Structure formats: C-alpha cells, structure tokens
Structure 1
Amino acid sequence: MIKGVKAVWIAALAGSAVLPGVACAQIDAPTPGQGAPAPAPVPADQEADPDSTTPSSDEQIVPDAEFNAALPSLSGDINAPLESMNGFKTGSTATPTAPAQVTNQVEGSFAAPAAESPEFAQPLPALSEFRVEPVKIEGLEAEKAGTIHYTTVVQGLDAVNLNGQFRALSALEQGDGEAANAAMISARAREDEALAVRLMHSLGYYDGTAVSTIEQTPRNSGRVRATIAATPGKLYRLSSVLIDAGPTVPAGLVDRELNLNPGDPIDAVRIQAAEANVSLRLPQQGYPFTKVGQRDILLDEETHFGEYTLPVDVGQRASFGRIVSEGQRQVFGVDHIELLRRYKPGDIYDTRKVDDLRQALVATSLFSTVSVEPVRTGQPGPEGTEVVNLLVRQTAGRARTLAGEIGYSTGQGLRAEGSWTHRNLFPDEGALIASGVLGTQEQGVSATFRRSNAGQRDRTFQAQAAINHSDYAAFESYTGTLSVRWSRDSTPIWQKRWTYFYGAELVGSNEDRYNFNAGERDRGTWLIAALPTFLGYDTSDNLLNPTRGFRLKANVSPETSVRGAARPYARLMLEGTIYQPVSSSIVVAGRARFGSIPGIGRDDLPPSRRYYAGGGGSVRGFGYQELGPRSPDDRPVGGRSLNEFALEARYRFGNFGIVPFVDAGQVYEGVTPTLKDIRLGLGVGARYYTNFGPLRIDIATPMNRKPNESKVALYISIGQAF
C-alpha cells in the first residue's frame, strides 16, 4: 500500500501523466489480512512469465535510492520563504523503471486556463435599475391585471377580541383592497402574519401562530382573497409576582400600586400600565427618585404559566425643602416663586405639587423655557425623610404681545379690537396694556395696569382708565370710566373651578334718551358709582370649546346714579349653561339667563345701564339690543329685567362643525322677568376648529318677524356662542 502511494507522488513530481484509475487502485485497494477478499487464483494459461517485466507483489516499483534522489532538496531553515512558483521546473532527473501503464510520462506543465468571459469584466448594474419579476398567482395574467383588487379575511382573532385592533393596524387593510401586483399583496400578507402574532403575544397568547394564504376567488377572475388565519393557543397567566424593592412607608406601597396578582393574564398593556403606575404614584407619596427596572417573565410552555419579577429602586423618602433658581436670564426671584407654590417646607414630597408649580410658572407667559426638578441635599428631614430642594431653571421669553380680534354682527356692525401688552414692565408680573376699539358703532381707547399673582397666587389686581363712544339704536353715549378690580380668573392655560371679582367703578356718561315726559329725545349727563361683584363655578372641560359639564355665574352690582339727585339701585344677573355629549361627535348645549334691576324706575336709569337683548351673544336672529320695549320713534329703550334661553346641537366632523340652534328671550319694563311675549330666533352655524378655539359663523332669522326687524342676522366671531 505504501508503495502505491510512492508511485503516485513520483509521477506527479516528474510531471508525468498518471492514470487516475490505476493510481486510485494502487492507493485504495485493501491488502489481504485487513478484511479484503483474497486475490482470485490465476488461471494456468495466464501464469506470469518469469522473463516478464511486470514486477511481482513483493518487488519494489522504484528503488528507495532512486525515489530519494527524485525528491527536491529542502532548505535547513524552516523559516526560509517559499520558492517562487515561476522557478519551479517540472520533469524528472531520473526515469523510473515502472510498468508502462503507470510511467507513461508527458513532458511539460498543466494546460493554460481558458480565457475569462468579457461579461465578468462589466460593472454591476445600479440597484435602481435592478428588476425582479413579480410573483405570479396561478391563473392570473399580469399583463391584463393592471391594478389587482383583493379582499382581506381574518380568522381566529375574534375569539380573543383582537379583530378590530388588527384591522386598524393591518397593512392589507391600509391598502384599501388594491395593489399594483401580486408581490405587493404577498408582502402585506407576510407583514400581517407578524402583526397577528405580536397582537396575540401582547394579550398573553405566546403559543399563537398565524398563516397567510393568497388565492383567486373564483379562479381566473382577477380578484384575489388574502386570508390571515390565526391560532391563539392557550392563554399564559402569572404564576407568581415577585417585587424586588426596599422597604417603604407605608409598607407594601409598591405592591399596592403595581396591583398584579397570580392568575392574572400576561397582558402586555396591563403589565406596562401597572409598572407605569408605580413610576407615577410613588413620587406622589414621598419617593421622587423611584426607578422601575426591567421586568423578567419566565414562561413554562407545559403549564402555560409565567413567573414575573420586577426590580424597583424606590430611593430615599423625601420632604420638601427650599426653592433654588438658576439661569442666565431669570424672570423671577426665589421670593416670587415661593408665592406660587401650594406646599409648605417639611411636607412629604408630592410630584403633583411640583407639576402645579411648573404650570403656574408657565401660565405667566414670561418664560422661553422653565423647568422644576428635585435635588437631593443629604440633610435629614421629618419622619425619617431626606430634605429635597426644588431647582427652578428659567430663561426669560418675550414679554411684549400684540393681539387683535375682529368680529361682525348684524345690528352691531363690524368691530375690531387691538392691544399692546408688556407683561412684566413692573416686576414681578406688573403689566401695562394699551388697547383700542374701532367699529361701525363703537370706538374707544383704554390703558390698564394689571398685576398678576398680586400678594397671593391667582389673585389679580387691575386698574383701568377708558374713554368710549357708542352709537347704537337704543342710545348714543360718550363715556369715561375709572375702575379698580381684584379677581381670580380662568385662562385657556389655567382653567379654574371657582372664579370671582370685586371692585369699584366711577363712570361719567353723556347719553341721549327718549324722554317720555317731554315726548322727545334729549341728552343728559350721569355720574355713576358702582361696586360690581361676580362669582362663577365652572365644571366644563374647556374654556373656549366645552363638551361636557356646566357653569354657573352670578353678578351683583350695587350702584348709585346721580343726575340732579342720587338714586341707588342694584343690577342683578344669574346665568347657567350646561354641556352634554350624546355621541362622540354631537354635543347638546343649553343656556338660561335672568336679570333684574330693582330700586329705580326705568326712565331714571341711564340708558347704558339698562338691560337689552338681541345679538350674537344674546338672542340670535335679532339685531343688537333690538328686543324689548320701543319708543314712539321705534327705537329700543331697554328695560329693568330680561330672560334669555338658547339650545344648540353641536355636530363636529374633523376640524369642521355644523350647529343648528334656537334662541329665545325678551326684555321687560318691570323688575321681574315674566316670561311673556317670548321671541324666538332659529338658525344654523358653521364652525372651523383651530388650536386656539373655534371660528364661529352663525346665520339666524326671527320667528313672527315684526316691522323693521332684521330678516336675517349674521354673526362672525371666535369661540362658541356660550
């Protein structure tokens, strides 16, 4: 066997062509005694000739000395570099004595390789030019298909109430039943397979599987049906709930806020919500530095239960300390920030009070950026707590504002109002406001000083001086006003449940009126002193566009009118509104208002202090101040009492809305609203909802219209009618 190997190597080194079959036979043939069959006996007529050149089995094919001489010489340095292949010479220095079938030699080297195809030298095509033939559905001819229409069938997800959620996220459903080719349908179906599995896993069906199939229905129709068949399998539940957390006060606080129990389904949404609740609730109960770690759930495929483990670092229990502030352009000092807080130093830390302070700072509109965050001090506090300071980082924003408002209504005409405000001209939060009104029936200017958070949070002090000219159907007046007021008001950023104001006014007014004693119009000048007060209660969900809740408002203003003699009286008003959703897109809104002025006769009242009804904020369908008693020259004269009612159905679709409505109301000469002679106005409105409130356009007409009353009234403004 060894000799056969040698023969192969010799032939190779000599550059001779070795017959592969012979070489393999010499190498691979097993020798007797190694489990191979013995050689077959040689027939007598084929016995070997003693003079033959064929060697026997015991004879060497090549002598050892000749074999060793044929081997190339090797260097004694094992680290020497290999010789160049170019210098290697084929051929033999010795010609072995071997059988002809083995030693048949061919001089020369291996044949040269064939020339490389020119195509291999060409650059690869760009990816944008690469084309893939679309998947072909049996029986569907692509050249005739154009747009392929398909339907989506979902099976198995209804059993676990996932059908609706699946269809909302499905790639097949989002394709609206159309695709450019079958490959697109196939890709969407594969994506929906994965979606179905993810949804089932999210509810605890971890053995859930989904398979998609695409077929024509019927065959050769060109319509395709994509079916997503889901198999939820068994529901996995929690076998144990282990919380790795330190001690808390009270004990078991983390477990109570997590609220996961053995036997609960391994529902991803529920578990994530429970963990989020821990992150939310612990900082509200004295642990501002709580960190919820990564959960671990070990599932058992045989029992379909899972072991739940959650590490929670509750951190040190804390109490409130000082307020510290930093920033290159600070708006408030620490003293004014402390005025806005709703906690006392030493109180147990509550992140809700921190958020409340942040909102109060944002509501001032004086910051470009502002943040409030807890900072550890290492100082011991009450009840085993650590004192935590609040760091306020503040950067001043632009303090000046230009604002404008424009509106139109039949009877009141066009009205535009503009204002310039510097919100912090007199720190802290002392604002100066200059405003003007320009309209077809009203013109005026005013200057206002306003200090927000004056002495205490949410209290506003305001002083105003104004000059105004009004020219309405009921009266014409030139009025100067000086007033002061303390108030607690709602804003779009900070809507409050209780609101109020109280103050004092001094008004000087020159007005015309119809003098019933003289039977003609004349002018007079009145000096009016008033102490107006207001109290409001608001449970609505939005200041400019409420959809649920109610509001109650009460106004009381003791006044004295002086024209020759002092005549005291009181102006009273009570109003209520309610908002009730009846569906996701329809809100029914209602309003009722009652007013009375006891203590003085109507003709002794200045016309500007009487009650009127009609207009966009009153009874739509009628002109401004159009309802109520009229003078012989057919102009409104106002009254000492009124009632108003309104009912709307606010239907919203997207950013648009339609609002049919009916309004009713009347003004009376006496002090009691008797509900007699109620007038109705019917109309419809359009709404465009913006991020700062709805744009309102209302058109209405009066029922049982009387002479000289408006046929159609138009109102355009911002915000709902009430």
Structure 2
Amino acid sequence: MAGESALKRTGKRFLAWTPAAFRTGKFQTVPFLIVLFFVGLAVWDAAVAASHAEKTSEERPVVRFVQFNGVDSLSPSEIKKIMKTREKRFRWFGGSPLDPEVLEEDLRRIERYYQSQGFYDARVVSHKLTPLVGGEVILEIAIEEGDPLVVSSVRLTINGQTTGPWHDDVIALMPLKPGDRFTTSGYRDIEKVLLRFFAEWGYPKTEVSLKARLDKGAHRAEVEAAVNTGAVCRFGPVTIEGNHRVDDAIILRELTLREGDRFKASKIQESQKRLFDLRLFQFVDLQVKGLEGEQTDLPIHILVKEAKKQTVRFGVGYGSEDRLRAQLGHEIRNFLGDARSLQLNAKASSLVQLVEGRFIQPYPLSLRNTSFVATGGVTREDQEAFENEKIYVSSQLDHGLFDRVQVHVGHRLEMNRLLDVSAVAADDDVDQEREEYYISSIFGGLSYRVLDDPLNPTRGVQFINTAEWGSRGLGSEVDFVKLTLEGRGYVPLERFGVMALRLRWGGIRELEDTSRVPVFKRFFSGGSNSVRGYPYQQLGPLDRDGDPYGGLTLVEGNADWRFPIRNSWEGVLFFDFGNVYKQSYEIVMDELKYTVGGGLRYQTPIGPVRLDVGYQLNPPDDPPFNRYQIHVSIGQAF
C-alpha cells in the first residue's frame, strides 16, 4: 500500500542517518530515549505526510510554492497571510491538496486586500500551476497593481477651530498624512487615535466625525476629521464589588486614579494591571460610568472575583542535565491580611535539592510601589565540581522605579559547608572538603523588561544587572564583589520566525585579605542554557581529570533563529560563544569557544519542550567529552 511504502522508505532513511554512536549505545539511555521520541514523532509525521501526498497526488496537486508576478508595492509574505491556500513549508512536513474553490476565493480576497491598501485599480490578471515532482506544483499569480490613492490633504477641526494648541500634536499622531497611501485600516484608526488622545487630556466624551473624498480617476484622497471634545471630566467616586476577604483599602491603594483628579484613560489601565499583579483576583474590571449623560464627575465601578485563598502546585519534568526533577509549592494569599503572601517551596533533582519559605509584605512603611521580601531555606547542590550544603536567610526591598523598571536591594546571610570537592585547580590553592564558609553580603540589581510573552517571547528586550558585595565589615569570612550584566533581545521576522539574541558578562574580584573565592561562588559555563556545544559546566578551566573548577570572569553570547515548521512544531538554528577565565575581569578573545547547532521545539501550555544538538567549532585540546552535545529541557534557552 502507498502508506506502507512511505513508512518503509522513511524508516530506511532514518536508519541510514542515525549516527553510529547511537547504534553502539555510547549515549546515555534516558536522553537517547527522549531523542528517539522526538525523532519518532518526526518520522511518524513524515510518513503520514508522505502517505497523504501519495494518495492525493493523483487526484489534486499540493502547492509547494506560491509566487507572485507584478507585486512591487506590497509584501508577498503579507499577501500569503490572507490566503487560505498554504505553501508546503518543508519536504517532509505539511501539504494539503489544492482546493479550486478555495483558490478562487483567494484570488478575490487578494483584490479586496489591495483595495484596502489603496490600490482600487488592482486586479488578478491570471494564475497558473507549474508541475514539480511528486504531485507538487508552483502556484504563480500575476497581479496588476495600478496606481494607489494618495492622501492629498488632511483637514482637522477641533471644536470648530482649524488651528489651536492641540492641532500640531494631533496631526503628528494621525495614521494618515499628506503623501501617504490611503488605506482602509489607516482611515479607521484615525478615530481610535483621536479618542485615545483626548481621553488622556480629560475628554472621554469626545465625538469624532470622519469624511473621505476619494477621486479614483486622479488617485487622490482628501480626509476630514471633525472633533467635538465635550466638557472636561474628572474621576468620580469609586465603588467596589465582588471582594469578600480582601479589604477595600487594599484595592483603593493600588489605584493610580483619585476622586477629583482630571480624567486620564491610561490611569484606568494602570490601575487594572496593578490589581492583577497582587495575584489576589481571578478577574478585575474597571468600568467608567456616566459616559452617556451630561455629568462630568464620572464614577468608577470596580468588579473583582477573588482568587482562591490557598494554592498547591506540583510538577515533574526531565532535563538532560538535572535528570528527573520535581517541584511542590504551597501559597497562602492575603496571609494575615493586608495582601501579604506566604510561599513554601520544595524542589528536587540530581543537581539541586531545596526547601524554602518566602514572605512578601507589600507597602512596607507605606512605601508605594515597594515590597519587602524575606526568604529562608536549606539547599544542597550536587554539581560537577563540588557538593555544597547551604542554610540561608535574606531580606530585600523590591521597588518599581519607573514603568517596566524594577530595582531591588537587600542583605543575605549564608552558612556553606563543602561536602565534596572534585576539581583541583592548577595552583593547588583548592577548596577543602568539610570546610565551612560564613558569608554576609549586600546585594542589589536593576531590571528592565518589555516582552510579549515571558514563557516564549517573540518581541521585546530585557536587561538584568545584579551586584553582590561580601565584606568582613558585614561579618563575612569571604571578601568579594560579584557583578553580572545580561541583555536579551527578540526581533520578529514575520513568517520566518524570531531572531533571539543574548549577551552575558560576569566578574568577581577578591577584596581585602581574601585570596580565593570559594568554588560555589565562581562562574561556570556550558550546557542547555548557555553554550550548547559543551556539556553542563564543562566550558572553562578543567583539572587533569576533566572536572571544572570555575573562574572569576564569564562571557557568553547566543543567537537563535527560531522558525515555524508545522502546527506546534518549531525549529531553531543557533550560534553560541563564550568561556570562563581564571582571573578577575579577564577576557582573552583568542580563547573564546564557538559552537553551532540546531534543534526542535514543541509548544505546550507550560512552554516549549526542546531538543538541541550543539557542535564545537574550536574545541579545546584533548577534551574529555564529545564534540557533539545533546540537550533536552523545557522552555527556551533564553
């Protein structure tokens, strides 16, 4: 049968491709099984697609490529987005048979789309199918765009006046200006822009009247916008509904609006976000009353639905570095009132075991945009270079300095006990087993984040800067200063996916009488979330047995091209570089290590499940590890 032959052929290709290291069992069993699971899904999908293509190739062709002729002013990728006829992205993935009725509707949809973009003379001249192998075709569509309608003038009147203090600012914000191509979306957005502008200045009852004179023969468009602002409005009394355990005072103090203040639309949105950020409510809605009448003091009605008092979370997962991992969390919201929160967490994996408690007090000493956080716990680290037990307590203040800018400062007290030290530095100035370290340090940091999705960002930037200072004056047995700087950026590439970039630097300096920073405070690199061509923590200084002992300077950089494949599948090609250096603030460009690789992502509600394969371009001499590295984890690398 056709399906059986496709499956057999795909299986033979897979066996021929499979590296000998897989067949001889040199890779660890569990990671190999997970890799095999990913490959199995891809093979099955390929077999189904191949079988489907064989069955349908004799009936209806499959569109491999869509090409346009005569398209100069618009983006072909944007035109493809409005079509229901889709390209087959890759040889082994996707591909639906061409539906002639859907294609005809697509051709009409293209003409309507051109008209919405100001090309009222545009038409689809012809289309044809050019055969390829295996029942696939190239769909070629010829388009005559014609000349677009251009905005010749924009006339704005505000309360009957053609000039005034607002006119220049409003004209600058208008989505259509003289010389622009007249588009339907731009014309409709004029009203939205005007209403938003005047609502920020205290005129939420503004009325907008739009007119457009289109001269299709002369390809000109004249736009008129008449604005009647109405009376200045102010915030009226605030009423609250739906809260039972949360006091009104807690809700009122989060509001950025006050009764009697001049109306400002952004304060409604800011207040709603602040209430959500309390994590006390499942639902928050701020309604402005009195917009239809003549009153100028507009009441605000807040409708909330409270979240559960307590939440218990449990999760398990697997990663190629920490193996099987589990997490248990218990949170008590509005603990003892005043929006306090108490969190108890336990985590366990082959690398880290932790039990921690966290207490959060908002508005300490009535400070706005500020929270006091107290944390304490016990943790054990079983790293490649050492095993360490730590008991710690810390307290810090978190403050929202500006929009999207957060700062924090605090104090941490640790008692560390090294249970085992595997790595031995070349200078023999090594950490000793059973050695104890008391560290008292002040820490702080600043972060800026504008991301569209914290789990799987596709647009935005993020900066994270932290500093820690330990001193004998604070009661510490180790004197040091530790700095880390990190920046991330995400650039959308339309239908081609996302370009993600990351750069990180870290430095440690010994202070006063300290000659050696203990191993658990040093930098390590390599692994699924840093330089993916290297095993976990194996990039940097190694002893004669191949064990890492860390360094005092860290440099890491990553560039990911994440592109869609099919449905929930995503591919990635990446380039990583970095290294760890023994000396403080030392960067030797010639010693940077470079890796390239690729991987797969499968999107889930908790983030993408990922498989990455990295390859070292300039490996160290006689490395105790393979030049290829496989990483399996949950979530993007950064």
Partner letter of residue 203 of structure 2?
Y
2:548 and 2:128 map into 1 onto residues whose CA distance is 78
Partner letter of residue 284 of structure 1?
E
Matches within 5 A, 1:518-667: 522-538=433-449, 543-544=454-455, 545=457, 547=459, 549=461, 551-560=463-472, 567-579=477-489, 581=491, 583-584=493-494, 585-587=497-499, 589-599=501-511, 605-627=517-539, 635-639=547-551, 641-654=552-565, 655-667=569-581
Q: Residue 507 of structure 1 aligns with which residue?
A: 414
Partner letter of residue 285 of structure 1?
W
Matches within 5 A, 1:186-585: 196=111, 200=115, 203=118, 205=120, 245=159, 250=165, 256=171, 267-292=183-208, 295=210, 312-322=227-237, 324-330=238-244, 332-342=246-256, 346-376=260-290, 386-404=296-314, 412-452=322-362, 454=364, 455-488=366-399, 497-512=404-419, 522-538=433-449, 543-544=454-455, 545=457, 547=459, 549=461, 551-560=463-472, 567-579=477-489, 581=491, 583-584=493-494, 585=497
Change beyond 3 A, Cα 1:435–1:198 = closer
Question: In 2, are the aligned partners of 1:421 and 1:431 still within 8 Å (CA)?
Answer: yes
1:429 and 1:604 map into 2 onto residues whose CA distance is 44
CA deviation string 1:404-445 (max 9, x = no partner): 565655564443333222333333321121111111233221
Question: In 2, are the aligned partners of 1:508 and 1:527 still within 8 Å (CA)?
Answer: yes
Partner letter of residue 394 of structure 2?
S
Tell me how far 1:334 sits from its aligned partner: 4.1
Tell me how far 1:690 sits from its aligned partner: 4.6
1:512 and 1:595 map into 2 onto residues whose CA distance is 26
1:154 and 1:522 map into 2 onto residues whose CA distance is 68
Question: In 1, are the aligned partners of 2:508 and 2:585 still within 8 Å (CA)?
Answer: yes
Larger Rg: 1
Partner letter of residue 271 of structure 1?
Y
Matches within 5 A, 1:131-210: 196=111, 200=115, 203=118, 205=120
Tell me how far 1:498 sits from its aligned partner: 2.5
CA deviation string 1:172-204 (max 9, x = no partner): 999999567xxx69xx86996697478548738
Tell me how far 1:595 sits from its aligned partner: 1.4
Tell me how far 1:271 sits from its aligned partner: 2.1
- Name the SS of the counterpart of 2:479 in structure 1: strand
Tell me how far 1:554 sits from its aligned partner: 3.1
2:572 and 2:158 map into 1 onto residues whose CA distance is 56
Q: Residue 688 of structure 1 aligns with which residue?
A: 602
Tell me how far 1:569 sits from its aligned partner: 0.7
Question: In 2, are the aligned partners of 1:172 and 1:192 still within 8 Å (CA)?
Answer: no
1:510 and 1:519 map into 2 onto residues whose CA distance is 15
Question: In 2, are the aligned partners of 1:321 and 1:346 still within 8 Å (CA)?
Answer: yes
Partner letter of residue 589 of structure 1?
L
- Greater relative contact order (Cα < 8 A, sep 6+): 2
Tell me how far 1:287 sits from its aligned partner: 0.8
- Name the SS of the counterpart of 2:191 in structure 1: helix
- Name the SS of the counterpart of 1:523 in structure 2: coil
Tell me how far 1:656 sits from its aligned partner: 0.4
Change beyond 3 A, Cα 1:372–1:539 = closer
CA deviation string 1:106-129 (max 9, x = no partner): xxxxxxxxxxxxxxxxxxxxxxxx
Change beyond 3 A, Cα 1:163–1:468 = closer
Partner letter of residue 350 of structure 2?
T
Question: In 1, are the aligned partners of 2:431 and 2:519 still within 8 Å (CA)?
Answer: no
2:62 and 2:613 map into 1 onto residues whose CA distance is 46
Question: In 2, are the aligned partners of 1:331 and 1:367 still within 8 Å (CA)?
Answer: no
Q: Tell me how large the CA RMSD over aligned residues is.
A: 5.3
1:197 and 1:376 map into 2 onto residues whose CA distance is 40
Tell me how far 1:447 sits from its aligned partner: 1.6
Tell me how far 1:360 sits from its aligned partner: 1.6
1:228 and 1:634 map into 2 onto residues whose CA distance is 63
Question: In 2, are the aligned partners of 1:623 and 1:709 still within 8 Å (CA)?
Answer: yes
Change beyond 3 A, Cα 1:513–1:377 = same
- Name the SS of the counterpart of 1:316 in structure 2: coil
1:720 and 1:249 map into 2 onto residues whose CA distance is 51
1:172 and 1:409 map into 2 onto residues whose CA distance is 39
Partner letter of residue 487 of structure 2?
T
Question: In 1, are the aligned partners of 2:316 and 2:324 still within 8 Å (CA)?
Answer: yes
Question: In 2, are the aligned partners of 1:560 and 1:566 still within 8 Å (CA)?
Answer: yes
- Name the SS of the counterpart of 2:287 in structure 1: strand
Tell me how far 1:489 sits from its aligned partner: 7.7
Change beyond 3 A, Cα 1:416–1:522 = same
Unaligned runs of 5+ in 1: 1-144, 218-224
Question: In 2, are the aligned partners of 1:290 and 1:312 still within 8 Å (CA)?
Answer: yes
Question: In 1, are the aligned partners of 2:151 and 2:223 still within 8 Å (CA)?
Answer: no
Tell me how far 1:473 sits from its aligned partner: 3.4
Question: In 1, are the aligned partners of 2:488 and 2:503 still within 8 Å (CA)?
Answer: yes
Q: TM-score, normalised by structure 2?
A: 0.68
Tell me how far 1:351 sits from its aligned partner: 0.6
Unaligned runs of 5+ in 2: 1-57, 88-94, 131-138
1:233 and 1:613 map into 2 onto residues whose CA distance is 57
